[in-house]
Chains A and B, each alone.
Chain A
Amino acid sequence: MKPFEEQFTAWVDGELSDAELAEFEKQLAAHPDAMAEKNGAQRLGELLRAHPTAPRLTNPDFFNHQLMQRIAAEEPRPVEKERSVGFWSLSRLVWAGAFCLVSAFGLYEAMIPKPGSHGTDTDSKYFAQVVESWPSDPSISATTVYNPDDNVTVVWLDGLDYIPASATLQ
C-alpha cells in the first residue's frame, strides 16, 4: 500500500483509480480536515498558474547574439570529431565483417564436399590427375577416380601394358 502522502497527492490531483479512491476514503475518517486540505492544495495550484511570476525575456535578440558568440568560442563539437575518424567507422567495420563471414560461408558450401551430401548421387565420382609421378615410360600417365558408393579409389595408369610382378600393389 502506498504511504498516506502519496495517496493524498494522487487524491488531490484526481489520479486515484476507483478502487484506490474507495480504499483511501476509508482512511479519511481519521483526517477530518482532509477535504479542506484538498481544496487548499487545488486553490494553491490555481494561484500559481494564475500568477506566473516570470518576467518577459528582455533583449531576446541579444540573448541569441551572446549565445552564438559563446558557441563560436567553443571548440568544435565532439560529434564532428567523431565523424572524421576516417573511412573505417564502427558501422562500416561491422558491415565489412558480416560480408566476409557470409562470403566465407558461401565459398565453404560451394567448394568443400561434405561426406554425407553425395550419398544419393550414385553417379558422382571424383577424378584427379596425378601430376607428379616417375614412370619408367614417359607415355604412361596416372589418373585417380574415387567412387563414393564403394568408398574406393581406383588408380588408372594409361599406357602401361602390364605391371611387373615385383611392382604389384600390396
Chain B
Amino acid sequence: MATPSNPVPTEAPDAITGPDDLELVARAQSGDTSAFNELVTRYRTRAFSMIYNMVRNEQDSWDLAQDGFLKAWKSIGKFRGQSSFYTWLYRILMNVTIDWLRKKQIAGGTEFDDQIGLNNIAPGAATAPKGEMEPAAKISDSEIRQRIDEAISKLSPEHRTAIVMREIDGLEYTEIAEQMECSIGTVMSRLFYARKKLQALLKDVYETI
C-alpha cells in the first residue's frame, strides 16, 4: 500500500536533548511553566507551519499558534499520555484553526463552494482549465507557492483540512477521521473533492514543472 511520504506527526521533528516530552508534561501538569515553555520550543515551528498550511497568512498563523498553545496549557491536566504529546497538541491546534476558519467564513459571508468549477466534472474526467498558462513557461518557486496558496484558500475548511492532513502532514485516513471527528468515508469523499478542485486550479502548474 502506498503511504504519504511525510511521517505521521507523532514525534518531534528534530532531535531532542534533555527530558522527554512526558516528563515535561508531568512537570507542566504540576504547574511548571518552564517545562511547558520547553515543549513550546520543541513544537512551535511545526505548529506554526501546520497552521499556516491551513490559513495561508503569517500573522493569523502566529496568533492561532499562540491560542493553540495557550489552550493546551489550560487543558494539559487532561492529557493522559494515551498518545504522544504532539498528537494531542496537533488536535488542539487543528480544532482552533478549523474554528477560526469557520468563524471567518461566517463573518466574511464567504461561501466555500467546493462544487464551484466541479459541476461539470464527472469523476474521472479531465480537470485542467485550458489555456491559463503556457505549458512551456517556467514558473518560479515563489509563483508556485503563491498559486498553491490561492488554490488552497478556495477550499472549504473541511476540504482544506483533509487535503493538508493527508498530503502535507502525511496522516492516514483513520488519523484524519479521528482528528476531524468524522467517518473514514467522509474523509475519503472530502479528499476526492478537494483534489478535484486543486487539480482544476493547479494542473498547469504541476504539468509545467
Residues of chain A whose beta carbon lies under 8 Å from any beta carbon of chain B: 2-6, 8-10, 12-15, 28, 31-34, 36-37, 40-41, 43-49, 51-57, 60, 63-64, 66-68, 70-72, 74, 76-80, 82
Contacts and interface: CB of A to CB of B under 8 A. Distances in A.
A80 B28 CA distance: 11
Interface in B163-200: 163, 166-168, 173, 185, 188-189, 191-193, 195, 198-199
A37 B125 contact: yes
Interface string B50-73: 101100101001100110011001
A54 B50 CA distance: 8
A28 B123 CA distance: 10
A70 B66 contact: yes
Contacts of B203: 40
B77 A44 contact: no
12 contacts: A6-B188, A34-B124, A37-B127, A44-B167, A44-B199, A47-B144, A54-B52, A60-B45, A63-B66, A77-B77, A79-B77, A80-B31
A9 B31 contact: no
Interface in B133-154: 141, 144-145, 148-149
A6 B189 CA distance: 5
Contacts of B185: 2-3, 6
Contacts of A70: 66, 70
Given A43-B207, A49-B167, A77-B76, A71 B70 contact: yes
Contacts of A55: 52, 58
Interface string B35-59: 0110011001100111011001010
Contact of A41 (B53, B189, B199, B209): B199
Contacts of A48: 148, 163, 167-168, 198
Given A31-B124, A70-B70, A49 B205 contact: no
Given A6-B188, A44-B195, A49-B5, A66 B127 contact: no
B18 to A, nearest CB: 16
B73 A47 contact: no
B130 interface: no
A54 B65 CA distance: 13
A38 to B, nearest CB: 9
Tell me what chain B mostly uses at the interface: helix, strand, loop, or mixed. Answer: helix
B44 A53 contact: no
Contact of B124 (A37, A47, A77): A37
Contact of B74 (A36, A63, A74): A74
A6 B192 CA distance: 7
Contact of B65 (A5, A9, A63): A63
A54 B55 CA distance: 10
B202 A44 contact: yes
Given A34-B124, A71-B33, A77-B77, A52 B168 contact: yes
Contacts of B65: 63
B8 interface: no
Contacts of A77: 31, 73-74, 76-77
Given A32-B124, A71-B73, 17 more contacts: A9-B189, A10-B188, A14-B3, A15-B2, A37-B125, A41-B195, A44-B198, A48-B168, A51-B148, A54-B52, A57-B48, A63-B40, A63-B62, A64-B37, A77-B76, A80-B31, A80-B77
Interface string B69-103: 11001101110000000000000000000000000
